[in-house]
Amino acid sequence: MASTQLTDEELFSQLKCFGFTPGPVTESTRPVYLKKLKKFREEQQQQRGKGRGSSTTTSSSSSTGASRPVRHDVRRLSSGRRPGLKSSVLGFSSDESDAEAPLKRKGLDHNKRANRNPHLQQQLKIKATAPPNEANKKLYGVGTALKSNSFPSPGGQTSPSLGWETGKRSRHDPESRDEDGSDEELQNSHSVNGRSAARLNTSQLAGEYSDSDEEEVGAPGGPDRDRRSLELRRICTTGPFPSHLDGRGSWVGRKNCAYNPLGNRSMLGGREGPEERVKKSDLDASGGSQSHMVPRKSVYGSLGEDHQSKSGENNHVNSEEGPFRFGAGLRPRFPGSGSPAPASRGGYPNHSPVPNHLYGQKKKLAAPEDELLLQFKREGPASSGSFSAHYLSMFLLTAACLFFLLLGLVYIRMRGSGSTGVDGAIKSHPFGSHFDSLYDQAEKDAILKLLLSLHDHLAVVAGHHDCGDQQFPNRSLSRDKVTEYLLAQNGEFKDFIDVALEWIIRASQDVGIRLTGRVADDPVTDVSEISWLESTHPRMPLGCRFRRALLTVMSKVALVAVAVGFIWSVVCYVKYRWRREEEETRQMYDLVERIIDVLRTHSEACQENRDLEPYLPIPHVRDSLVEVQDRKKMKKIWDRAVHYISSDESRIRTETQQIKGADFKVWRWIQPPLICDKSKGWQGKAFPLNRRNSPPNSLTPCLKIRNMFDPDMEVGDNWDLAIQEAILEKCSDNDGIVHISVDKSSKEGCVYVKCLSAEHSGKAFKALHGSWFDGKLVTVKYLRLDRYHQRFPQAQGCSTPLRASSLHQNITNTSPFLLQQGPPNASGFS
C-alpha cells in the first residue's frame, strides 16, 4: 500500500475515507495530500494498536524508514516537476536529481505503476518467504528490472518512468539498508574493513562505477541478479541517494563474495553497507563511506525530511527488513518523521544528534499524551474527594471564627467584670485587721455594704460619664449627692457614712474611690473636707465597653492595613514602571533593528543603483518605520533608538547632509559589503587518505565531487564560478584539470571535473576527497569517461589545464598560454 502507486484519484478517495475532503489533487498539492494521508494512516494504526505481529513491528520499523524516504521522494519528485526549470545536464548514472527531471518529464504512467504494483507485491511476498538477502535482492531486482537500460538517459522513456515508481520504493530499501549497512559498518568496522578491503581488491577491475560495468562483471546469481543490480543503480538515480546507488552497483559486483547467504540480517546490512561503498564509480573505502554518512546526512539535512527519516531509521532499524516494509511500516514512522520534519527542515544539516532526537521525540510525543490522559482520568475521582474536603474546610473555618468570637466576648466580659471581683469578695477589704476588731459583724457588714454600693455607684457614674452619657455631666459626685444616694439605698447607712468615709481616708490602698476636697487635688485628711467623690475604677456599660474595644481593634487593624496597602502599592508601581521600561527598551531595540535593516537594504540598493544616495535622512527613516498614529507615542522610543544607534552601532554613521537645500541629519551605512559573499575556503582534511578509504589507484580521469555547496543556500550570481575557483585553487599543484562543471541544480552540491589523465584525477582525488570546504565534507568519486562525455560533450574537446585565475576562460582548445602539460607525476595513491 505504498503511496507511490496512488493515482490522483486513489489519493483523493483514500483521503475521503478518512473523512477529510481534499481539494483537487494536482501536481503541486499531491505531496501535501500524501503527507496528510500518511498522517491519517498512522493515526489509524495507532488507534488500532499493535494489531500486527511482532514481525510487523520489526519490519515496520524498517518499512517506515523506507516509507519516509518514499514520502519524501514522492514529494520531491512531484515538486520537482517544475514547469520552468529544466536541468541542463542529463541524468548521470549516479545523479538522482538529473535523472529525476527527465523521468518526471515523462510523466507518471499510472498503468505502468499499477503494473508495477502487483509485481512488487509479488516481490514482497516472495521476499517474505525468501531469506532476507534474497528478498532484498528481489526487491532491488524489481526496481532494477524496470530499468533495463543502462543509462538514465531520457531516451529510455518507459523504463525510467517505470523504474521511477518502483525505484522510489526500492530506493528506500537500499537506503535503509544503506543506513543499516552504515550502522553495522560503524559497529563492525573491523570486519567491514576487512571485507571492504577484500572487496576493493576484487572490485577494482570491475569498474563498478557504471551500470554497464556491472552487467559485464556478471553476477553469480544469474542474469536476474545482474539486472536487478543494474536496476538498483538505476533506481537509485532517481533518488537523492547516489551513495546508495553506488552501493548498489558495488553490491552487485560484490555478488561473488557477498551472496553467501548470511545467516543473520544484520550481516546483510553490514554487507550491504560496505558493498555500497564500493560502488560503481565511487570507490570510497569503508572510511569513505563512513564519512559518507556524515555528508550524506548533511545532504539530507538540506533535503529535509529525507534526512530525518533516514537518520531516524539509522537509529532503530537494525537492518531488519521484512515483508512489510512498505505497507505497514509506512504509518508508524510518520509521526516521528512528520513532526520533527518541519522542525529541522529549515535548519541546516543535523548530524548524528538528529536520529536520536527524532527517535526520542517520537517516543516523547506518545508519552506526554499518555500522561495527559492519565491525568485527566485521575481528575475525576479526585474531584469527589475534594468536594467533601471542601465542606470540611468550610466547617473548620466557621468553627474557628466562632471560637475566636466567643473568646473575644469572654475577654470583654472579663474586663468588664474584672472589677466585680470585689462583689464576691465582699468580705475582704483593704482596711486591715483593725477594722475587723473595731466593729462587730453587723456593723462591719453594713459599713462594707455601704462602701460597696458607694463604690459601685461612683463607678457607674464615672463609667457613664466616660462614655459620654449626658446624664452624668460630672464624673465625681458631691458629698451631698452621695449621702442622698446612700440613704436611698439603705437607711442604716446614715450612721456609717462618715465612718466609711473616714475609713476610706485611712485606707492605705486604693479602694476605688477617690476623695477630693474643695480644692481639687488636695489630699483629704479629714472627713469634713470631703466634698467630691470619684471612682477610680469606672465601670462602663457593656455596650460602651464593647464599642471601645472594637474601636481600638479596628483602628489598629486599619493602621496596619493602611501601612501594608501603602507598601504594596509602592511595589506595584515600581513593578509597573520597570515593566514599562522593559517594554520600551524592547521596542527600542526592535526599532533599532528595523532601522539597521532599512539602512542595509538601502545601501545594498545603492550598490546596484548608483543614482541613490548612500545615506538616509533620519526623519525619513522614522516616518517610514513608524506608523502615523504612533509617532507621538513612539517619540521617546525613537529618540532612544537614535541615541543608541549613534552611540552603539558602529556600522551606521550619523552625519549632516544637505538634501535639497535643507540640512538633515542622515544615517549612512558604512559596513562594506562582503565582496565575496562566500567565506568559502578549504578547511583541512577530515581523514587521511589511505588504502582503506580511497581506491589504491585512480581509475578514470573524471571525478564527481560531492557536497561542495548547497544550491538552496547559495546567493549571488557567480557562486558557481567561485566554486570552480576554489577547486582549482585546491588542486593548484595539479595541472591536469581540463573541465569543471558545477551542477547548480544538484541538491548534493555536485561538481564534475575532468582531468587530463587518470594520474591527474588521482591527484585531484587525493587533494579533494575528505576535505572540509565551507563547513561541508567533500567526497569524490570516479566517473566513467564515456559517461562524462555523454553528459558534458564539450568536455571531450578539452585538453588545456585550467588554472585558478583564468576561470572565465572558455573551455576550448584555444587557450595557448595555459598550455601546460606537465608530466604526470606520482600516480594516484599508494
d(CA 763, CA 818): 19
Stretch that binds another protein, among 15-23, 148-156, 530-538, 542-550 (CB under 8 A): 15-23
58-68 burial: b if 16+ Cβ within 10 Å, else e: bbbbbbbbbbb
Stretch that binds another protein, among 18-26, 265-273, 383-391, 492-500 (CB under 8 A): 18-26
Taking CB under 8 A as the criterion, the residue among 19, 51, 346, 816 binding another protein is 346
Rounded Cα gap, residues 262 and 319, in angstroms: 13
Stretch of 28-36, 51-59, 156-164, 179-187 contacting another protein, by CB under 8 A: 28-36
- With H, G, I as helix, E, B as strand and everything else as coil, classify residue 681: coil
Candidates 7, 79, 153, 419; binder of another protein (CB under 8 A) is 79
Our CB check for another protein shows the closer of 582 and 630 to be 630
Q: Does 28 participate in binding another protein (rule CB under 8 A)? A: yes
Instruction: For the CB of residue 744, give the shortest distance to another protein in the complex, in Å.
Output: 11
Binding to another protein by CB under 8 A, coded x per residue (else -) over 254-293, reads ----------------------------------------
**Cell numbers of 122, please?**
509479488
157 DSSP β-pair partners = none
Ramachandran bin of 419, using left for φ above 0, alpha for ψ from -120 to 50, beta for the remaining angles: alpha
Q: How far is the CB of 817 from another protein (least distance, A)?
A: 38
Residue from 48, 50, 82, 631 touching another protein (CB under 8 A): that is 82
Question: What is the contact mask toward another protein in residues 304 to 323, using x (rule: CB under 8 A)?
Answer: x-------------------
Three-state SS string across 794-813, please?
A: HHHHCCCCCCCCCCCCCCCC
Task: Return the number of the residue (587 or 646) whose C-beta is nearest another protein.
Answer: 587
Joined grid coordinates for residue 761: 584525477
Q: Which amino acid is at 586?
A: R
CB of 35 to another protein, least distance (A): 6
| Residues in 690-729 at the binding interface with another protein, rule: CB under 8 A | 712, 715
Beta strand 737-742 pairing with 682-685: unpaired
**Torsion angle (degrees, nearest 10) of CA 202, 207, 209, 214:** -80
Given a contact cutoff of 8 angstroms between Cβ atoms, the answer to whether 795 and 788 are in contact is yes
* Residue 203 C-beta: closest distance to another protein, Å: 38
Least distance to another protein, CB of residue 668, Å: 23
The DSSP code sequence of 155-199 is T--HHHHHHHHHHHHHHHHHHHHHHHHHHHHHHTHHHHHHHHHHH
> Cα(176)–Cα(801) distance, rounded to whole angstroms?
41
Nearest residue to 341 via CA among 329, 327, 357, 317: 357
Residue that is written with C-alpha cell 515523462 in the block: 106
Q: Which is nearer to another protein, 82 or 579 (CB)?
A: 82
Among 5, 6, 11, 36, interactor with another protein by CB under 8 A: 36
Q: Which stretch binds another protein (CB under 8 A): 17-25, 326-334, 440-448, 480-488?
A: 17-25
| Helix or strand (DSSP H, E) at 476 | none
Name residues contacting another protein, limited to 92-151 (CB under 8 A).
none
Q: How far is the CB of 172 from another protein (least distance, A)?
A: 18
Q: Are 284 and 208 in contact (CB under 8 A)?
A: no
Q: Does 514 bind another protein (CB under 8 A)?
A: no
The cell for 587 is: 521596542
- Exactly one of 49, 84, 468, 793 binds another protein (CB under 8 A); which one? 84
Neighbours of 377 (CB within 10 A): 10
Taking the complex as a whole, how short is the minimal distance between the CB of residue 8 and another protein, in angstroms?
13
**Burial (0-12, 13-18, 19+ Cβ within 10 Å), 684:** exposed
Instruction: Give 669's strand partners.
Output: 652
Q: Does 365 bind another protein (CB under 8 A)?
A: no
Instruction: Kindly give, in sequence order, each residue whose CB lies less than 8 Å from that of residue 290, ignoring residues fewer than 6 positions away.
Output: 182, 185, 186, 189, 693
Question: Could you tell me which of 323, 276, 327, 310 has the C-alpha nearest to residue 134?
Answer: 323
Compute the least distance from the CB of residue 306 to another protein, in Å: 11
Q: Among the candidate windows 82-90, 350-358, 722-730, 769-777, which touches another protein by CB under 8 A? A: 82-90
Any contact of residue 420 with another protein (CB under 8 A)? no
Q: How far is the CB of 727 from another protein (least distance, A)?
A: 25
> Does 339 interact with another protein (rule: CB under 8 A)?
no
Instruction: Please tell me the distance from the alpha carbon of residue 332 to that of residue 313, in angstroms, as a whole number.
Output: 12
Confirm or reject binding of residue 75 to another protein (CB under 8 A): yes
Q: Measured between alpha carbons, how far is 505 from 517 in angstroms, rounded to an integer?
A: 12
Amino acid at 752: Y
Residue 484 interacts with another protein (CB under 8 A)?
A: no
What is the spatial distance between Cα 295 and Cα 433, in angstroms, rounded to a whole number? Answer: 116
The C-alpha cell of 430 is what?
483593704
Would you count residue 351 as binding another protein (CB under 8 A)?
no
Q: Which stretch binds another protein (CB under 8 A): 74-82, 358-366, 446-454, 572-580?
A: 74-82
> Which residues inside 548-587 make contact with another protein, applying CB under 8 A?
587
Considering beta carbons, is residue 82 or 363 the nearer one to another protein? 82
Q: Which of 9, 17, 24, 383 binds another protein (CB under 8 A)?
A: 24
Least gap, CB of 168 to another protein (angstroms): 16
- Site membership for another protein, residue 677 (CB under 8 A): no
Among 35, 104, 325, 730, interactor with another protein by CB under 8 A = 35
Q: Does 33 participate in binding another protein (rule CB under 8 A)?
A: yes
Per CB under 8 A, 32 contacts another protein? yes
C-alpha cell at 27: 501536481
If one asks whether residue 55 binds another protein (CB under 8 A), the answer comes out as: no
Place of cell 548498489: 248
**Binding residues among 606-645 for another protein as defined by CB under 8 A:** 626-627, 630
* Binding residues for another protein (CB under 8 A): 21-24, 26, 28-29, 31-33, 35-36, 75, 79, 82-85, 304, 342, 345-346, 587, 626-627, 630, 712, 715
